[in-house]
Amino acid sequence: MMAPLLEFLLALFLFFAYASKLNEKFKGLYWPLADFLRCVTAAIIYFAISIAAVSKYGDGASKAAGVFGFIATIVFAIDFYITFNDLVTFLKQGSSDSPEGRKSEDEDSDSDSD
């Protein structure tokens, strides 16, 4: 019971952090990476708890909890995919701002105007 609660509270914190634009104030933290790791851990935790609920207990409430856990796992997996794409674009954007990225762009230009 504690693991899904912690995942929920972490998701709630990240939601309020994005809503109050804390990600723009604190540039030292890689916000897409934090969201990505939250999605991955949430999907794994909910999947494991759902398997335990379905296989260990035989009553209807446990089976319903397992089904809802599998649905939550699917939702977190979709969020994982979307967040992964955002993380990749964030990392590509960060690498193009680096001096190494600018140097390779200057070397690749075929301009003879110098």
Question: What pLDDT digit, counting tens, does each position of 49-68 carry?
Answer: 888 888 887 788 888 888 88
In a domain, 53, yes or no: yes
State the residue range of the domain holding 36.
Answer: 29-92
Whether the pLDDT of residue 36 is over 70: the answer is yes
Alpha carbon 58 to its chain's center: 33
Which has more pLDDT, 103 or 74? 74
What is the pTM (predicted TM-score) of this model?
0.66
Which has more pLDDT, 108 or 62? 62
In a domain, 87, yes or no: yes
In a domain, 104, yes or no: no
In a domain, 76, yes or no: yes
Mean pLDDT over each residue of the chain, to the nearest integer: 79
**Long-range contacts from 45-50, C-beta under 8 angstroms, 24+ separation:** 45/3, 45/4, 45/7, 46/4, 46/7, 46/72, 46/73, 46/76, 47/73, 49/3, 49/4
Domain count of the chain?
A: 1
The predicted model gives 18-46 an average pLDDT of 83
